[in-house]
Amino acid sequence: MRVDVVAVGTELLLGQITDTNSGWIGEQLAAHGFDSLLQIKVGDNLGRVESAFRRALADADAVIVCGGLGPTHDDLTRDAIALVMGVELETHDDIADRIREMFAARNRPMSDNNLRQAQVPAGASVIVQTRGTAPGLICPVMIDGVEKILYAVPGVPHEMKEMVERAILPDLHQRSGEVAVIASRTLRTWGDSESGLNETLDPIIAELDQVGNPTLAFLASGWEGLKVRLTAKAPTKEAVTALLDHWSGRVEEIVGQHVFGFDDDTMESVVLEMLRARGLTLGLAESVTGGLVAGRLTAIPGASDVLRGSIVSYASEVKFELLGVTRGPVVSESAAAEMARGARRVLGSDVALALTGVAGPTEQDGMPVGTLCIGLAIGDEVITTTVRMPGQREQMRQMSVITALDFVRRHLRDGV
Amino acid sequence: MRVDVVAVGTELLLGQITDTNSGWIGEQLAAHGFDSLLQIKVGDNLGRVESAFRRALADADAVIVCGGLGPTHDDLTRDAIALVMGVELETHDDIADRIREMFAARNRPMSDNNLRQAQVPAGASVIVQTRGTAPGLICPVMIDGVEKILYAVPGVPHEMKEMVERAILPDLHQRSGEVAVIASRTLRTWGDSESGLNETLDPIIAELDQVGNPTLAFLASGWEGLKVRLTAKAPTKEAVTALLDHWSGRVEEIVGQHVFGFDDDTMESVVLEMLRARGLTLGLAESVTGGLVAGRLTAIPGASDVLRGSIVSYASEVKFELLGVTRGPVVSESAAAEMARGARRVLGSDVALALTGVAGPTEQDGMPVGTLCIGLAIGDEVITTTVRMPGQREQMRQMSVITALDFVRRHLRDGV
């Protein structure tokens, strides 16, 4: 069953509010086995809202509309639905009474335009509001002799979500005998390009094209890494999980060394967890990344029991005086090694990671923009490497963060 | 001129990535005097992508497509455009060479499917890529005897934004034959709420509603502050500038103390500039923000001649041992003051800013989540304050960054 979405509101088109509703609805629909293939944003204009509804209903079996149910003159969803259904709006006294009561309960005067929210297209049924003042609507519409359904919910996210879960998803299940469960699993990877992974996984992709379930998609997420997402469909939750286990296992067999985590894992959460599991504390010495590595790690609650801190030694003098780096060029593996040793000493950590490099715009110490030198001190052992990062200043810095953390991950994984 | 938007990608429909691109594009279009009346999200399916393009082109004068320009099998934008134009795809050797060079520069093997990104629909022209590997496209399309334009840009936000500003907006102005010059000026503010600013500026807003030019809009940008954007239209660049000068002056007369900069200024760039102008160096001691203040400042090229570095003293021991904070509760103004003094000493800076607080999820030292203590050492003088930040962990941390930098700004402005 295909269920498309229309989000109504000029502020969405102007980017004054980001439409997170339609994506959230699409996620719920997929989890319940419904397809959402087109999602539209349209402004507060009666003609355009009406035609957006007609277009969506032409392709989909059902349409969920969010927004435009408020009390003001530019809330036009009710009127547009009436036009699409070819009916009049009727005032429901029970809704009007409930709205009056809500205002009374808050000791606020009620202006008459609030009663617009008590208007319902003839033949539509009501989703009683439990939070805001606007009820939702379930509207049967005949399109070329076929009955389709248009649902309308408020644009306020918590009001919308409550109605979708309480009323719309159950109604959709009832209308479609749909029993399938859909679930996704995302493999988080770092270390190969999108095209490289795609080519390595070619045989599996070919197999999946044959069986058609699960589907495989790549999501390039910049400095968050490259995601390989499997989405499976089956009659039961258990069957879906079994499918995902089998195929994510197949993918890991081939590109396992690049897989750093699954679903909501991040490189920083994975590295923190590996250190915690080994009872190791971490110290940082950051130059090129200027605190971004520490900033990412400390975004995770509980980071404090692993991370001691970071010495952001941006000025060379700080590298020399505080970290004990030998005076001279500071973009080199030897400087990175000395920074790591210095951070371990100054911060009193078991492990220390140091980053020095050239973010640009201009080269430094004769090293080109994009150069990253990494130093990793584990106990008294120090490992270093030099990598070339792509992109402009900010991209280079962010790429350096995940690249350096991946360097730690691979060394811990290979047994320290 | 009507310019609608199509965002391509199944992950957008499933809410795995929120489409922020189309709203951003709508904001830019509005600021340049173009209407964006419909924005569509469609998944990675050739037939549906093609029909989404056709639908959008039927109503709009131009369409901007973001996404689906990658190298993999589910990147279908190029193919769909070729179908809509009724032409073949041609490989452009210069693009292919540029892609090969990018991989060579990163010492990464290049698989052949990357060359899909060198394919261009016959008759389309290319927006040269300066960041990623995918060039943008400018594609003339005849619809019912009318020439319309379809633009295609990558879905990665920083690649998309760069191409829209550099190539698409200028091209739209040229095609629209728009003789008027349209320009915007954004006043960047921090320290008052949107409703507060709105109320204070009420008389000016009323005046502007009368004259209609320039227009004034509020853009709430979270921890980037609250933007007041004036957009003016006039026959010449000089006339536009005069209009913007007059009205931004009027706005500053009323809310000047909250205006920290204009247009591309950021709180961090403004504070760096004030310090540079006074010949002062800066050191940081960060606990609750875990390096985010340093990370923001070092995003600016040339920060190194002002910023010495940051001591991210995440573990309390590091505060005590390295910064010389008195053992005891570390979320207090006295701890913030000692952190600032310690940072000045350890980093050898003229000025030092320290932040300690509670990001959550749980309270600390009996202080509630959201507590931020700021210490500012200027020479031997130390000023402290305590503020309550809103929001969850990450929002609280980001709000703390701009709040603490604004604290520095106001003290420098008031004469140090």
Contact residues, chain B, for A219 at CB < 8 Å:
11, 16-17
Contact residues, chain B, for A41 at CB < 8 Å:
22, 38-40
Whether residues B25 and B148 share a domain: the answer is yes
**pLDDT higher for B32 or A45?**
A45
Whether residues A271 and A399 share a domain: the answer is yes
pLDDT for residue A12: 93
Q: With pLDDT > 70 as the criterion, what percentage of chain A qualifies? A: 99
Contact residues, chain B, for A292 at CB < 8 Å:
291, 295
Q: With pLDDT > 90 as the criterion, what percentage of chain B qualifies? A: 74
- The three-point CA angle B407-B410-B416 to 5° equals 110
pLDDT for residue A179: 63
Q: Which amino acid appears at position A107 of this protein?
A: N
> Which one-letter DSSP state was computed for residue B333?
H
Whether residues B206 and B226 share a domain: the answer is yes
Contact residues, chain B, for A321 at CB < 8 Å:
348
Q: Is the peptide bond before B214 cis (omega within 30 degrees of 0)?
A: yes
Confidence of residue B309 (pLDDT cuts 50, 70, 90): very high
Give the 3-state secondary structure of residue A55. Answer: helix
Whether residues B155 and B36 share a domain: the answer is yes
* Residue B364 · residue B288 · CB < 8 Å: no
Number of A/B CB contacts below 8 angstroms equals 263
For an interface test with A, give the residue of B312, B350, B351, B401 to mutate (most A CBs within 10 A). B312
pLDDT for residue B177: 83
pLDDT for residue A103: 81
Q: Mean pLDDT across chain A, nearest whole number?
A: 92
pLDDT for residue B348: 96
Whether residues B166 and B24 share a domain: the answer is yes
- And the tokens for B9? 């990608």
Q: Under an 8 A CB cutoff, do B312 and A38 touch?
A: no
pLDDT in tens, A350-386: 999 999 999 999 999 899 999 999 999 999 999 999 9
Exposure string of A363-397, with b = 16+ CB inside 10 Å and e = fewer, is ebeebebbbbbbbbbbeeebbbeebbbbbbbebbb
The enclosing domain of B211 has a CATH number of: 3.30.70.2860
Q: Which amino acid appears at position A381 of this protein?
A: E
pLDDT for residue B134: 86
Contact residues, chain A, for B131 at CB < 8 Å:
391-392, 395
The enclosing domain of A397 has a CATH number of: 3.90.950.20
Contact residues, chain A, for B19 at CB < 8 Å:
19, 23
Pick the residue from chain A with its C-alpha nearest to B72.
A195
Pick the residue from chain B with its C-alpha nearest to A200.
B111
Q: Pick from B220, B236, B262: which residue ends a domain? A: B262
Whether residues B103 and B36 share a domain: the answer is yes
Q: Under an 8 A CB cutoff, do A26 and B38 touch?
A: no
Confidence of residue B237 (pLDDT cuts 50, 70, 90): confident
Whether residues B69 and B116 share a domain: the answer is yes
- And the tokens for A302? 């509980």
Pick the residue from chain B with its C-alpha nearest to A209.
B73
pLDDT in tens, A99-142: 888 888 777 778 788 888 999 999 999 999 887 778 999 999 99
pLDDT for residue B402: 96
Query: Rounded to the nearest 10 degrees, what angle do helices B77-85 and B46-59 cross at?
Result: 50
Of A23, A43, A52, the CB nearest to B12: A23
* Residue A30 · residue B4 · CB < 8 Å: no
Contact residues, chain A, for B331 at CB < 8 Å:
none
Confidence of residue A178 (pLDDT cuts 50, 70, 90): low
Contact residues, chain A, for B219 at CB < 8 Å:
16
Q: Which long-range contacts (CB under 8 A, 24 or more apart) does A156-160 make?
A: A156/A131, A156/A132, A157/A20, A157/A21, A157/A24, A158/A131, A159/A129, A159/A131, A159/A132, A159/A134, A160/A21, A160/A25, A160/A66
Confidence of residue B192 (pLDDT cuts 50, 70, 90): confident
pLDDT for residue A194: 84
pLDDT in tens, B25-40: 998 998 888 999 999 9
Q: Pick from B160, B176, B192: which residue ends a domain? A: B176
Of B43, B110, B312, the CB nearest to A309: B312
How many Å apart are CA B309 and CA B297, to the nearest integer? 10
pLDDT for residue A11: 86
Q: How many domains does chain B have?
A: 3
For residue B322, pLDDT over 80 is answered with: yes
Whether residues B24 and B169 share a domain: the answer is yes
Q: Under an 8 A CB cutoff, do B318 and A303 touch?
A: no
Average pLDDT, integer, range B143-167: 94
The ipTM (two decimal places) reads: 0.75
For residue B138, pLDDT over 90 is answered with: yes
What range defines the domain where residue A249 resides? 181-262
How many Å apart are CA A156 and CA B221, to the nearest integer? 19
Closest CA to A37 of B52, B197, B109, B211: B52
The whole-angstrom distance between residue B91's C-alpha and the CA centroid of its chain comes to 34
Q: Under an 8 A CB cutoff, do A301 and B219 touch?
A: no
Whether residues B110 and B222 share a domain: the answer is no
Whether residues B123 and B192 share a domain: the answer is no
pLDDT in tens, A295-340: 999 999 999 999 999 999 999 999 999 999 999 999 999 999 999 9
For an interface test with B, give the residue of A18, A36, A289, A318 to mutate (most B CBs within 10 A). A318
Pick the residue from chain B with its C-alpha nearest to A39.
B41
Whether residues A359 and A383 share a domain: the answer is yes
Q: With pLDDT > 90 as the criterion, what percentage of chain A qualifies? A: 74
Average pLDDT, integer, range B152-163: 94
Q: Under an 8 A CB cutoff, do A284 and B16 touch?
A: no
Of B14, B72, B393, the CB nearest to A26: B14
pLDDT for residue B2: 96
Q: Pick from A238, A262, A286: which residue ends a domain? A: A262
Whether residues A31 and A149 share a domain: the answer is yes
Phi, psi dihedral angles at A205 (to 5 degrees)? -60, -40
The enclosing domain of A121 has a CATH number of: 3.40.980.10
pLDDT for residue A101: 86
Q: Which amino acid appears at position A211 of this protein?
A: V
Q: How far is B414 from chain A (nearest CA, A)?
A: 28
